[in-house]
């Protein structure tokens, strides 16, 4: 098995993987955001990186260093910006950073790139960066950009059957799952040493109105920052989630990138 982490490859080894093997590059996208008293601030980047690594092992791909800062935390899905440690980007800055990095990957010769998002609020700003980069690349010589880009959120690959196993009493919804059962279970699976199980609060589920208000109403958010109880989390559930998401993401990328393989040079026949 080849090395999967881009930062551990020499530029020569990386170039060979890109040009000769047509390796898929996976870019984890996270945030630096409070995740209650029991999970680390870097949970989103840690989990998107771990999922990306599992996918890369199945596809013989390369995992780029993660975007560790994300778009601003929102009260109804991330607790909000008022928590100490939450350190965020304006949306335009995240989009421009995404744009720059995609153009750089294209310059390297990457033809297949997947952004693995682990922070709910990032989605549309990553999309904007992708679209700007693709427009830039289309304006430089060819009508069709030289690479294909996929953006996905790993939680979308969980099936109803697995969600029913993880949430026998009913699934509260992805927005309220901030620092709750899904993320805590995955951290217990991937990084158990970083989970303070004795500090898991018993908050939630939070009850938000059907609108947003500005300035943000911090009183809507439990003091712990946890939007739904993580009491039902376990490493076993984390393993179920990790296995299914990685397998289904890998299958989706195989399908999406099936027609993007680089043509191999034909050897001349000799009499």
- What are the catalytic residues? 33, 35, 44, 119, 121, 178, 183
Alpha helices in 39-180 (DSSP H): 43-59, 75-78, 91-108, 123-138, 160-166
Whether the CB-CB separation of 79 and 34 falls below 8 Å is answered with yes
Q: CA-CA distance, 174 to 183, in Å (whole number)? A: 10
Q: What is the 3-state secondary structure (H, E, C) of 246-258?
A: HHHHHHHHHHHCC
Whether the CB-CB separation of 195 and 184 falls below 8 Å is answered with yes
Q: CA-CA distance, 44 to 3, in Å (whole number)? A: 23
Q: CA-CA distance, 130 to 191, in Å (whole number)? A: 30
Q: CA-CA distance, 96 to 31, in Å (whole number)? A: 16
Distances in Å between the Cα of 40 and the Cα atoms of 32, 35, 91, 117 are: 9, 6, 23, 17
């Amino acid at each position: 098995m080849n090395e999967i982490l881009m930062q551990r490859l020499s530029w020569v080894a990386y170039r060979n993987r890109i040009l000769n093997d047509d390796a898929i590059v996976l870019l984890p996208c996270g945030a630096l955001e409070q995740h209650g008293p029991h999970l680390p601030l870097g949970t989103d980047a840690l989990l998107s990186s771990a999922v990306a690594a599992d996918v890369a092992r199945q596809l013989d791909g390369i995992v780029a260093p993660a975007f560790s800062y994300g778009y601003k935390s929102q009260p109804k899905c991330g607790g909000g910006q008022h928590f100490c440690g939450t350190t965020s980007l304006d949306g335009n800055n995240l989009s421009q950073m995404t744009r720059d990095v995609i153009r750089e990957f294209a310059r390297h010769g990457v033809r297949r790139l997947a952004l693995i998002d682990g922070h709910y609020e990032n989605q549309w700003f990553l999309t904007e960066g992708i679209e700007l980069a693709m427009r830039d690349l289309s304006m430089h010589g060819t009508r069709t950009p030289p690479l294909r880009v996929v953006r996905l959120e790993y939680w979308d690959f969980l099936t109803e059957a697995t969600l029913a196993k993880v949430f026998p009493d009913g699934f509260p919804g992805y927005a309220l799952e901030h620092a709750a059962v899904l993320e805590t279970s995955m951290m217990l699976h991937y990084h158990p040493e970083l989970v303070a199980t004795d500090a898991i609060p018993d908050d939630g589920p939070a009850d938000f109105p059907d609108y947003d208000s500005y300035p943000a109403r911090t009183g809507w958010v439990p003091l712990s920052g946890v939007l739904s109880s993580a009491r039902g989390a376990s490493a076993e559930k984390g393993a179920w989630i990790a296995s299914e998401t990685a397998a289904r993401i890998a299958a989706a990328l195989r399908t999406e990138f099936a027609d993007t393989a680089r043509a191999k040079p034909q050897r001349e026949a000799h009499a």
